[in-house]
């Protein structure tokens, strides 16, 4: 039963998925979407718990065994717990209760306008008697329709981004952009806030690290190309010559001064290269269909860990 | 000498012809008069003619095809398609210069009204309303019939070869060098006393390449149990991780070595592409596996991992169906399974007759495809009016 139940479930769901390709009835598609999107999300949520358990266990074992560079496992675990805590209680962009945005420009939404202040004390003065200071001319910008007053930390942070964008656009177009405090009438210098919400951690840490890894690809390509283009036999020689022509055809200087090189490059890409690619693609398509059928009909059971 | 004389003769003749061309009188009549532009006010304004709105046949509903004819007078700058639901409120659907449009995402079995406006500058001329058009969903999508036929042929071949295999007919399968090397590569790891690293791609469980990679994992794990070698399987996706761990665990159980299974050998690493590549590179450098398998779907991280593996001196066997990454693997790995070989690998390694039958099905299906392509190409060339492409076009 332990082995057969997954096979029966797989067969039913796979046949249903196949039927929805050929049947146009809305109700069939609705059930298919439910299975694909919602059910898969639920399964994914459970799998994340398993995944996290595995990750923690893996690094705990490394620390316990004092494996090579075990200290880095602490970095992983500490980062995991800190980011989970921030994400759970602070929200993706600081919209939840845990404070994840600190300092920055002091903004107040009043009567459909956004005003900037030097500090909290100035804003307090304004709030105490707004009629004395309200002057739409000194507003930084009108309050966007999707933002509510009083401003939450998250809304104020989004407005700061918007103000910064406007200021940089104005500078680019040679227009003076200045924020004037309605209380003192003095210019308010732009102050960035300090953010540690999940989006900031993602943009500030993960994206640059990923970009660094991606940038290394250029060097790996050079070393791989060096090995691939050594002329050891006739096939490697053909590869070298065609690669040389394709590279030449990519360079503007070469295409300008060597007649026909661009056309030859395009021919290599469009005819022999495309022919072999399409051959592989047909094979891949059929292979994918064959694998799917093998799994659906229970012929292939390696994914269950074997036949028994 | 004769050749030189001929060349001189040709040169003189061409020179004479060019001079003749120069001496010709230039005609005074303008050969191609420029048409006088018609001002907007001079144009004849009319609304589009014969507007038709009808449900699209044999689809999954929600679409109404609206078509119209050009006004009898001048050609408008563009057309505006408008529609109204049962509430009678008109809304603009699109602006187009074409003479038909498929209005999408409509509710099924709800009567809708349509009209088309011809726009001349700032003047708009609307057609009569077409009412009662209703989108419907249909039981069978006729546009998918070619796919259904192809699947039927495939299943027929599959059944035939499975029955042949069951009857004991020997099925020849061509040698795949990369898969023959699996045994040697794991044996090498045993001799060196180092682990085997298995990377099941960077895609999700919905991807057939990932499923193929998991099937191969079962066979590779079986061999590591036989040779008593440690296998390391880092995963990028938690669902793939859960299945991969079950596969390895079940393989150890079925081979009678449940005690040898290390639950920490199959683990979830990180769900981010380059972080995963960095992690896998770290395993390669720190644990120095003797054999590395890259099976499944990969993106830009393929070369980063394969080059690092090559620098550690490991034997690398890769298999992917991603055309963009194949050249990288061919360059950096010792053996590469190209495209369909990835899907054939588990059957080839398992060497079970029924699974080999599916391999033969794959090959014969390819033959059928090639025959159909050749026949249609020849027919298309001999009888261009037949429109052979429409016979197999999927809509």
- List, in order, residues 6 or more apart from B85 with CB less than 8 Å away: B110, B112, B113
Residue A300 near residue B355, CB atoms below 8 Å: yes
Name residue B49's beta-bridge partners.
Answer: B69
Does the beta-carbon distance from A280 to B338 stay under 8 Å?
yes
Cα–Cα dist B56/B50, whole Å: 18
Residue A98 distance to chain B (closest CA, Å): 25
Task: Tell me: do A190 and A237 sit in the same domain.
Answer: no
Where a domain ends, among A195, A220, A253? A195
| Predicted local confidence at residue B288, as pLDDT | 94
pLDDT single digits (tens) B56-95: 887 888 899 999 999 987 889 999 999 999 999 999 999 9
pLDDT band with cut points at 50, 70 and 90 for residue B32: low
Give the chain A residue whose CA is nearest to the CA of B246.
A305
Give the chain B residue whose CA is nearest to the CA of A216.
B304
Residue A223 domain flag: no
pLDDT band with cut points at 50, 70 and 90 for residue B25: very low
When computed from its CA atoms, the radius of gyration of chain A, rounded to whole angstroms, is 31
Residue A308 domain flag: no
CA dihedral defined by A154, A157, A159, A162, rounded to 10 degrees? -130
Locate the DSSP E strands across A145-242: 194-195
When CB atoms are compared, the residue of A214, A302, A308 closest to B218 is A302
Residue B224 near residue B230, CB atoms below 8 Å: yes
| Predicted local confidence at residue B170, as pLDDT | 81
Lowest mean pLDDT among B91-95, B213-217, B382-386: B382-386
| Predicted local confidence at residue A116, as pLDDT | 93
Residue A243 domain flag: yes
pLDDT single digits (tens) B44-55: 788 999 999 999
Does the beta-carbon distance from A294 to B148 stay under 8 Å?
no
pLDDT single digits (tens) B218-270: 999 999 999 999 999 999 999 999 999 999 999 999 899 999 999 899 999 99
Q: Which of B299, B326, B268, B237 minimizes the C-alpha distance to A213?
A: B299
| Predicted local confidence at residue B389, as pLDDT | 83
How far CA A99 is from CA of A90, A119, B51, B189, in Å, comes to 6, 19, 60, 52
Task: Tell me: do A168 and A106 sit in the same domain.
Answer: yes
When CB atoms are compared, the residue of B243, B355, B362 closest to A299 is B355
pLDDT at B368 over 50: yes
Residue A92 domain flag: no
Residue A304 domain flag: no
Low-confidence ranges of chain A (pLDDT < 50): none
| Predicted local confidence at residue B26, as pLDDT | 43
Where a domain ends, among A21, A45, A68? A68
Cα–Cα dist B161/B169, whole Å: 9
Query: Which residues on chain A are in Cβ contact (under 8 Å) with B245?
Result: 54
Does the beta-carbon distance from B355 to A228 stay under 8 Å?
no
Name the residue with higher pLDDT: A87 or B142. A87
Query: Which residues on chain B are in Cβ contact (under 8 Å) with A308?
Result: 254
Give the chain B residue whose CA is nearest to the CA of A225.
B331
Q: For residue B330, what are its two tokens?
A: 């061919």
Range of the domain at A116: 100-195
Locate the DSSP E strands across A40-197: 101-102, 106-110, 113-117, 141-142, 194-195
Arithmetic mean of pLDDT, B170-178: 84
Q: For residue A217, what are its two tokens?
A: 């690809």
Task: Tell me: do A55 and A113 sit in the same domain.
Answer: no
Rounded to a whole number of angstroms, the distance between the first and last alpha carbons of chain B is 68
When computed from its CA atoms, the radius of gyration of chain B, rounded to whole angstroms, is 34
Mean pLDDT of chain B: 86
Model confidence, pTM: 0.80
pLDDT band with cut points at 50, 70 and 90 for residue B129: very high
pLDDT single digits (tens) A104-141: 899 999 888 999 998 899 999 998 988 888 888 889 98
Task: Tell me: do A188 and A106 sit in the same domain.
Answer: yes
Q: Which of A218, A216, A72, A82 minimizes the C-alpha distance to B274?
A: A216
From chain A residues 147-186, the ones with a CB under 8 A of any chain B CB are none
pLDDT at B4 over 50: no
Q: HSE (CB half, 13 Å, CA atoms) of B46? A: 12
Query: Which residues on chain A are in Cβ contact (under 8 Å) with B356?
Result: none
Residue A193 distance to chain B (closest CA, Å): 28
Interface test with B, best of A240, A294, A296, A298 (most B CBs within 10 A): A294
Name residue A113's beta-bridge partners.
Answer: A110, A142
Arithmetic mean of pLDDT, B167-180: 85
Task: Tell me: do A144 and A59 sit in the same domain.
Answer: no
pLDDT band with cut points at 50, 70 and 90 for residue B211: very high
How many domains does chain A contain in total?
A: 3
At B49, give phi and psi (nearest 5°).
-105, 160
Interface test with B, best of A14, A305, A308 (most B CBs within 10 A): A305
Where a domain ends, among A22, A44, A68? A68
């Amino acid at each position: 039963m332990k082995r057969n139940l997954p096979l029966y479930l797989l067969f039913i769901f796979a046949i249903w998925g196949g039927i929805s390709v050929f049947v146009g009835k809305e109700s069939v598609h609705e059930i298919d979407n439910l299975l694909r999107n919602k059910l898969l999300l639920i399964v994914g949520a459970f799998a994340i718990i398993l995944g996290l358990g595995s990750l923690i266990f893996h690094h705990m074992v490394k620390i316990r065994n004092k494996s090579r560079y075990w200290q880095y496992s602490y970095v992983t675990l500490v980062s995991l717990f800190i980011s989970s805590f921030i994400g759970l209680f602070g929200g993706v962009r600081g919209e939840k209760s845990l404070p994840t945005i600190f300092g920055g420009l002091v903004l107040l939404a009043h009567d459909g306008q956004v005003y900037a202040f030097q500090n909290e004390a100035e804003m307090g003065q304004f709030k105490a008697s707004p009629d004395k200071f309200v002057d739409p001319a000194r507003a930084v910008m009108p309050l966007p329709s999707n933002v509510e007053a009083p401003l939450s930390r998250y809304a104020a942070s989004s407005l700061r981004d918007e103000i910064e964008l406007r200021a940089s656009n104005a500078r680019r177009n040679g227009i003076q952009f200045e924020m004037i405090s309605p209380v003192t009438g003095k210019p308010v210098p732009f102050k960035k806030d300090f953010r540690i919400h999940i989006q900031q951690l993602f943009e500030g840490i993960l994206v640059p690290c990923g970009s660094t890894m991606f940038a290394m690809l250029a060097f790996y390509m050079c070393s791989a190309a060096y090995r691939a283009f050594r002329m050891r036999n006739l096939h490697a020689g053909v590869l070298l010559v065609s690669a040389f022509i394709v590279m030449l055809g990519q360079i503007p200087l070469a295409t300008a001064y060597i007649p026909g090189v661009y056309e030859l490059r395009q021919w290599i890409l469009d005819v022999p290269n495309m022919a072999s690619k399409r051959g592989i693609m047909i094979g891949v398509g059929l292979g994918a269909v064959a694998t799917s059928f093998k799994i659906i009909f229970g012929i292939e059971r390696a994914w269950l860990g074997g036949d028994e | 000498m004769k050749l030189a004389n001929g060349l001189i003769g040709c040169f003189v003749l061409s020179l004479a012809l060019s001079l003749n061309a120069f001496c010709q009188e230039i005609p005074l009549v303008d050969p191609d008069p420029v048409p006088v532009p018609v001002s907007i006010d001079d144009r004849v304004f009319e609304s589009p003619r014969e507007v038709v709105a009808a449900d699209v046949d044999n689809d999954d509903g929600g679409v109404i095809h609206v078509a119209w004819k050009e006004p009898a007078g001048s050609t408008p700058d563009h057309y505006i398609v408008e529609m109204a639901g049962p509430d009678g409120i008109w809304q603009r659907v699109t602006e187009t210069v074409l003479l038909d449009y498929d209005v999408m995402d409509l509710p099924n079995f709800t009567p809708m009204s349509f009209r088309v406006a011809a726009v001349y500058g700032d003047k708009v001329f609307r057609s009569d309303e077409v009412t009662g058009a209703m989108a419907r969903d249909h039981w069978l999508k006729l546009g998918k019939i070619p796919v259904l036929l192809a699947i039927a042929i495939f299943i027929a071949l599959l059944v035939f070869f499975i029955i042949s295999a069951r009857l004991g007919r020997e099925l020849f399968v061509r040698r795949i060098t990369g898969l023959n090397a699996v045994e040697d590569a794991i044996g090498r790891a045993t001799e060196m006393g180092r682990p085997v690293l298995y990377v099941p791609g960077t895609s999700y469980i919905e991807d057939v390449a990932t499923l193929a990679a998991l099937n191969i994992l079962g066979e590779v794990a079986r061999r590591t149990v036989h040779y008593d070698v440690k296998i390391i399987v880092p995963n990028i996706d938690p669902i793939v991780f859960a299945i991969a761990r079950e596969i390895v665990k079940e393989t150890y159980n079925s081979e009678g070595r449940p005690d040898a299974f290390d639950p920490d050998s199959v683990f979830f690493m990180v769900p981010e592409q380059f972080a995963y590549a960095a992690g896998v590179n770290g395993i390669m450098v720190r644990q120095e596996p003797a054999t590395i398998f890259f099976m499944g779907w990969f993106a830009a991280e393929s070369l980063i991992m394969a080059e690092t593996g090559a620098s550690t001196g490991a034997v690398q066997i890769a298999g992917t169906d991603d055309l963009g990454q194949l050249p990288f693997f061919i360059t950096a790995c010792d053996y590469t399974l190209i495209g369909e070989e990835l899907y054939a690998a588990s059957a080839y390694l398992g060497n079970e007759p029924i699974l080999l039958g599916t391999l033969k099905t794959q090959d014969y299906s390819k033959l059928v495809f090639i025959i159909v392509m050749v026949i249609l190409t020849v027919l298309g060339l001999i009888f261009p009016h037949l429109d052979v492409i429409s016979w197999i076009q999927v809509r």
